[in-house]
Every structure is written in C-alpha cells, then in structure tokens.
Amino acid sequence: MLNFLRHNIRWIAGGFTLTFFSSFGQTYFISVSISEWREAFDLSHGEFGRLYMFATLASAACLPFIGKLIDSIPAHRMIAVVIPVLSVAAALAGFAASLWMLVVAIFLLRLFGQGMMTHIALTTTGRWFSAERGRAVSLVVLGNQVGEATIPLVFSVVAIAYGHQTGWYLGAAALLLIGLPFSFWAYSVPREPHGCSASDSKSDRHVRNWTRSEVMRDPVFWALLTGVLAPGFIGTTIFYHQNYLTELNGWPPQLFVQSLITLSTMTVIFTLISGAVINKFGARVMLPYFLIPLAIACFLLAASGPALSVYVVMVFLGISYGISWTLFGSLWPEIYGTTHLGSIRAITVSAIVFATAAGPGLTGTLIDFGITLPRQMNYFGSYCLMAVVVMTIAAVLLKRRINPGDSDELFQD
C-alpha cells in the first residue's frame, strides 16, 4: 500500500479532494439546513421534498450531456469550470433571498457537487488505473467518507455560532481556495495505466470498449441499475428526513450528525476491504453482497428503537456504502471498457442522482398522506432483498460474458 501511494499519491490525492468537496452537493450536508429553509419559506415536509426532487431531477437530466465531456476534455480543465460553479452555488444557498433562488442553488449543488465532482474523480481513476483499479478507487472514495464525517459537523458548529448562511459562505471560500488549486494541479498531468494483476488478466483482457448506445441496449446494465440505485435512494431518504425521524422517535437533536462518525468509520473500513477483494477477484464477485447490510439497516429503522439503534443502523449503512462506492467505481470499466467510460458513467450517475431526487419527494409526499417513514423502511428493506437475487444472477451472466471459457461457478477464479 505504501509503495502504491508513493508512486501514485498525486492522482489519488486529487481524486480524494474531488470526492471530499463533493460533500457540498450531497444530501447529508444539504439536509443540515433544511429546517431553516422550511421555516424561512413556510414549507411542509412534502412541499420541500418535492422542491428538492424537482431541482435534483433537473440536474440528473443535465448529467448525460455534461458528464460525457470528460471523454474529450482533459480532467483539469473540467475542474476549472466545475469547482467555481459549485462555489457560486454554495454562496447562493447561503444568500437564498427567495424560493426560486434556493431552487437554483440546490440544482447547481446537485449537478456540480454530487454529480460532476464525483463523476470526474471516479471516471479518471477508472481510466488511469487498471491492475490496481480496486485499490485506487477505494482510496479516492475515502474523500466522500471523510467529508461526510467532518463537513456537516463543522458546518453545524459554525451555524450555531454564526448562522447557517456563514457556514455556506465559508464552504464557498474553501472550494475556491483549497479544492480548486489542489485538484487542478493534481489532475493537470494524466496517469498512464500500467502493470498487470491476476484480476486484470482474468477480466480486463476480455473486455471490449462498449459505446454508450450499446450499453443502453444491454439487459444486464438495466438489471445492475436495480441494485445501483438502492443505496442512493435509501441513504438520501434517511438523511433527508433525519429531523423528521428525530422528532418522531424523540431522539436527541444532534444524533444523526454525531452518528456520521460511525457511518464514515465503517464505510472507510469496508471501502478498503472491498478494494482489496476487487483487486484480487474482480468487481463482479461483490455484486451479491452489498445490499444485504442495507436491507438490515432499513429493517432496524423500521423498528423505531432507542437512540442507540441509530448507531447500529449507521454500522450496516456504512458496510453497504463502503462496498458499493468501490464496487461501482470499478465495475463499469471492468465490464464495458474505458474508451467511452465518461459517457457510460454519466448515464449511471444521472440515474443515481434521479434516485436521490425521487427519495425525498416520494417519501415526503407519503408522509404527508400519513404513511410514516418507519413503515416505508420495511418496503425498502424488502426491495433490497429482492435486488440481491437480481444482482446474483447478473454476476453469473457477467462471469460467463467476461470469461466465456471458465466454468459456470460464480466465484471460481
């Protein structure tokens, strides 16, 4: 690991920086200000949820067109545009003098934060690394976990002392003064993939470079999306409704913010574990497993237990997050090649953003109709278990496709 970092620290640190600062567009950060916005504009849970959904849906619709530019424009030039726009969005979120201004701010935060920052980091990492792709992706996505554990907590401290507008302004400044210059420098020199590993020789050597139109016609791709979308949809729903869950169960006000440390710790541990497994066996062998802990987390929230149960939920949520972050950073280049990776990942990122948009809007509306979130969590947990079956079948089909000469046993290598 140390030798790997010594030779690749520039690109790993650059990707880490991008995923870290993507936090400003993630629901776990934006949700910290939801109570203030709902009060300022006199909105119900469902009304703000629908507003958030429409802004996020608009960003998802833009991602396939903007995201594919990474296939033709150097990453550092994309960064030079994406981060300044994200900074403007953060400042606009702090100012938010009208409801329409807030909608525009959320749209830009979701498109350039959750969408493009992560898209640039994972697309370039998947393209620049081959033999050590799993390890590289697992290290890059740690930026998201570190951001998840620290940025909302720092924002809460600043908001309590100086107001939430000040927190947004400081975030905008940090993007311009820290995120932009470092990530631009790190990605200004592309890395050439080299070397070979067991997983590389067993999978990448059989992969042809699919076009986006070919991927869109592949039934396995759509089967995979049934699993890909679950963590974003469910995780966003949980964090978006953290204030609602806190009030409903009588939990301490800062419980969710404090529990993020547990979530991030478990995510980091299983990100590194899954990176090592993917390096050795390939990404597809992880497909049958990553939704099982997410299902357990859903059923635990449905039980509406004591405050301590939130930390247990975060343990299982972190396991699922850790595996899925690394899995879907490594899977697409493994099965569809790297030539059109930006265009392909733009579709998957758009679908994930769409799922995160649907979560708050759909669940908030159901809450307004009297269907509590704990009850909804039972449905989400059942969906995860059904998706596990689909992921297992997809893993078998991918093994046959990538290694047609091998036996049909799923985990034989």
Place of tokens 């991602």: 63
Q: Is residue 412 part of a domain?
A: no
Each residue of 73-89: pLDDT tens digit? 999 999 999 999 999 99
Cβ atoms 148, 28 nearer than 8 A:
yes
Token pair of 267 as six digits: 């995510």
Q: Is residue 413 part of a domain?
A: no
Domain holding 116: CATH number?
A: 1.20.1250.20
Q: Which residues of 93-124 are buried (b: 16+ CB within 10 A; e: fewer)?
A: bbebeeeeebbbbbbbbbbbbbbbbbbbbbbb
Instruction: Locate the DSSP E strands across 32-166.
Output: none
Please check the confidence at residue 135 and state whether its pLDDT lies above 70. yes
Of 255 and 178, more confident: 178
Each residue of 94-103: pLDDT tens digit? 988 889 999 9
Q: What is the percent of the chain with per-residue pLDDT over 90, rounded to a whole number?
A: 36
User: Residue 404's pLDDT is what?
Assistant: 57
Please check the confidence at residue 6 and state whether its pLDDT lies above 50. yes
Q: Is residue 411 part of a domain?
A: no
Q: Is residue 219 part of a domain?
A: yes
Q: What is the DSSP string of 352-377?
A: HHHHHHHHHHHHHHHHHTT--HHHHH
Average pLDDT taken over every residue of the chain: 85
Q: What's the domain range around 74? A: 2-402
Burial class (CB in 10 A: 0-12, 13-18, 19+), 252: exposed
Cβ atoms 107, 55 nearer than 8 A:
yes
Q: How many domains does the chain have?
A: 1
Q: Is residue 173 part of a domain?
A: yes
User: Residue 150's pLDDT is what?
Assistant: 87
Q: Is residue 382 part of a domain?
A: yes
Each residue of 246-302: pLDDT tens digit? 888 888 877 887 787 888 889 889 988 988 888 888 888 889 999 999 999 999 999
User: Residue 134's pLDDT is what?
Assistant: 82
Q: What is the percent of the chain with per-residue pLDDT over 70, rounded to a whole number?
A: 93
Q: Is residue 327 part of a domain?
A: yes
- Give the pLDDT band (50/70/90) at residue 146: confident
CA distance 84 to 80: 7
Q: Is residue 284 part of a domain?
A: yes
Cβ within 8 Å of residue 45, ≥6 positions away: 38, 241, 244, 364, 367, 368
User: Residue 410's pLDDT is what?
Assistant: 37
- Interval 12-20 mean pLDDT: 95
CA-wise closest residue to 171 among 187, 160, 181, 159: 159
Please check the confidence at residue 411 and state whether its pLDDT lies above 50. no
